[in-house]
């Protein structure tokens, strides 16, 4: 059971969490429109990244919408506090959503980094295996998050081993992308991808630990806010950043719609 169900919330705490869930879902809907609308200015060899952002946005939109409903149905106002009644709130849904989004986000990285052929297949396989193993071992561990017993720590540790493997392959990929970057700006943007990646992804294991760091109402509220921060950074901001890089790469390689889009942007922003 998620530790969210262990507490009663003030009206403010309850609403802040619900509001942030709703905001996060709205951000995903907005970025869905953005990524589909800008796909045409990206050369065909990179364009899949825009559609994959679309996939991530749809799946994450539903997940956050569902979490908002679960949160709303799990607690009821008793005149002074929101207390647990009815459905249990569950963070397990997040893990199901990651099972789709993690492999897709990593595939986008390979596409924009320009990895092809045997190297693509090998890294893709490593990403999918490491990513799913990381998520599903963590999923088992999180059922024990309130007790914080052996299952929580052992599965969490196994999951972390897979995470380190995944990070290593991501680092290799970004290193290659930087080495092959045709302009210094694109090279810098790939460095930004790495920073965004490492910061936003590493928040998730911290959120996993939260019931052990602070088993309080504030801990619950903080955990759900940082989950949303990480979700927006690792899915939406990341998707936009990859689209920007893909458009720049397309322009450098002479793709006319990308060149025109870059020119229009330069004119507008002076
Ligand atoms: C778990 C369990 C504890 C140990 C580790 C974890 C890592 C989770 C990560 C999740 C990333 C999710 C993303 C979702 C985007 O849609 C499973 C919490 C290391 C890194 C990026």
Instruction: Decide whether any atom of ligand 1 lies within 6 Å of the 152 Cβ.
Output: no
Check: CB of residue 241 under 8 Å from CB of residue 189.
Answer: yes
Q: What is the pTM of this model?
A: 0.96
Q: Quick one: three-class SS letters along 37-68?
A: HHHHHCCHHHHHHHHHHHHHHHHHHHHHHHHH
Which architecture does CATH list for 3-268?
Up-down Bundle (1.20)
Rounded to the nearest whole angstrom, what is the distance from the C-alpha of residue 262 to the centroid of ligand 1? 35
Which residues have CB under 8 Å from 203's CB, separation 6+?
A: 226, 227, 229, 230, 233
Instruction: Decide whether any atom of ligand 1 lies within 6 Å of the 234 Cβ.
Output: yes
Q: What is the pLDDT along the chain (270 residues), one digit of tens a residue?
A: 899 999 999 999 999 999 999 999 999 999 999 999 999 999 999 999 999 999 999 999 999 999 999 999 999 999 999 999 988 999 999 999 999 999 999 999 999 999 999 999 999 999 999 999 999 999 999 999 999 999 999 999 999 999 999 999 999 999 999 999 999 999 999 999 999 999 999 999 999 999 999 999 999 999 999 999 999 999 999 999 999 999 999 999 999 999 999 999 999 998
pLDDT of residue 91: 94
pLDDT of residue 136: 98
Whose C-alpha lies nearest to ligand 1, atom 5?
Answer: 205
pLDDT of residue 86: 84
Check: CB of residue 58 under 8 Å from CB of residue 35.
Answer: no
Rounded to the nearest whole angstrom, what is the distance from the C-alpha of residue 86 to the centroid of ligand 1? 28
Distance, in Å, from the CA atom of 97 to the CA atom of 56, rounded to the nearest integer, reads: 9
Q: Which residues pair with 83 in a beta bridge?
A: 76
Q: How far is CA 162 from the centre of its chain?
A: 17
Instruction: Decide whether any atom of ligand 1 lies within 6 Å of the 159 Cβ.
Output: yes
For the chain, give me the number of helices (H) and strands (E)?
Answer: 9, 2
The Cβ-side half-sphere exposure at 20, using a 13 Å CA radius, reads 17
Rounded to the nearest whole angstrom, what is the distance from the C-alpha of residue 40 to the centroid of ligand 1? 32
């Amino acid at each position: 059971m998620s530790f969210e169900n262990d507490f009663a919330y003030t009206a403010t705490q309850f609403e802040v969490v619900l509001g942030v869930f709703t905001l996060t879902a709205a951000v995903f809907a907005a970025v869905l429109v953005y990524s589909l609308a800008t796909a045409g200015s990206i050369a065909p060899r990179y364009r899949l990244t825009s559609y994959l952002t679309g996939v991530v946005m749809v799946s994450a939109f539903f997940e956050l919408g569902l979490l908002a409903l679960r949160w709303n149905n799990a607690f009821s106002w008793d005149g002074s506090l929101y207390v647990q009644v009815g459905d249990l709130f569950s963070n397990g849904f997040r893990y199901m959503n990651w099972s789709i989004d993690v492999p897709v986000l990593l595939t986008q990285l390979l596409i924009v980094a320009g990895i092809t052929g045997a190297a693509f297949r090998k890294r893709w396989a490593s990403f999918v295996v490491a990513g799913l193993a990381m998520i599903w071992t963590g999923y088992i561990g999180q059922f024990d998050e309130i007790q914080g017993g052996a299952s929580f720590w052992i599965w969490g540790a196994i999951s972390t081993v897979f995470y380190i493997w995944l990070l290593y392959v991501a680092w290799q990929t970004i290193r290659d992308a930087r080495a092959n970057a045709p302009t210094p700006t694109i090279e810098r943007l790939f460095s930004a991808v790495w920073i965004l990646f490492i910061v936003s992804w590493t928040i998730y294991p911290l959120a996993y630990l939260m019931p052990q760091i602070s088993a309080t109402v504030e801990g619950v509220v903080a955990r759900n806010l940082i989950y949303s921060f990480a979700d927006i950074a690792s899915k939406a901001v990341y998707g936009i950043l990859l689209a920007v890089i893909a458009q720049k790469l397309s322009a450098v390689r002479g793709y006319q719609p990308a060149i025109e889009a870059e020119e229009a942007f330069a004119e507008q922003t002076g």
